[in-house]
Amino acid sequence: MNESGAETKLPGAETVRQWFGMWPNFHDAEVISLTLARKGQSVLRVYPYYPHKSATVDFIFENVTDIELQDFSGQNVITSLRIETARDQNGDKVYRLVLGPCYGLSGRIDAKSLRVDLSPGKSPDGVSQW
């Protein structure tokens, strides 16, 4: 858990924190999907492993400025997910979402704005862990 990080200030973060009782560390979470758009919203959908509090967490980006991603596969388990603030090539503040590697997708996404949305229940695509 990282209660002092930038994620605690994101729109929607309080709902996520209330659902799980804390900000989740996303260890062993599975990336369900990633949709990138050059204009408008890009969405990273993650299913954290909390058997008694099932939910999907969407990270919704506006104005993606840079990405560095690798190893997308049929299953994409991460060791961690953290949110930082950084500076882009112009010196402007961006949010940086970093996916720690385990199996499948890992890397980072930088965007001018970021918010989170929580959908209680099992993964919408039927993928479940363990």
Task: Read off the pLDDT of residues 10-66 as tens digits, 9 standing for 90 and up.
Answer: 999 999 999 999 999 899 999 999 999 988 999 999 999 888 899 999 999 999 999
**What is the average per-residue pLDDT within 93-111?**
96
Look at residue 113 and tell me whether its pLDDT is greater than 50.
yes
Cα–Cα distance for residue pair 112/42, rounded to 1 Å:
12
- Average pLDDT rounded to a whole number, residues 101-124: 93
- List, in sequence order, every beta strand (DSSP E) within 1-130: 29-35, 41-47, 55-70, 77-87, 93-103, 106-120
* Residue 120 scores a pLDDT above 60: yes
Q: What is the DSSP letter of 125?
A: T
Domain boundaries, given as residue ranges, for the chain: 6-120
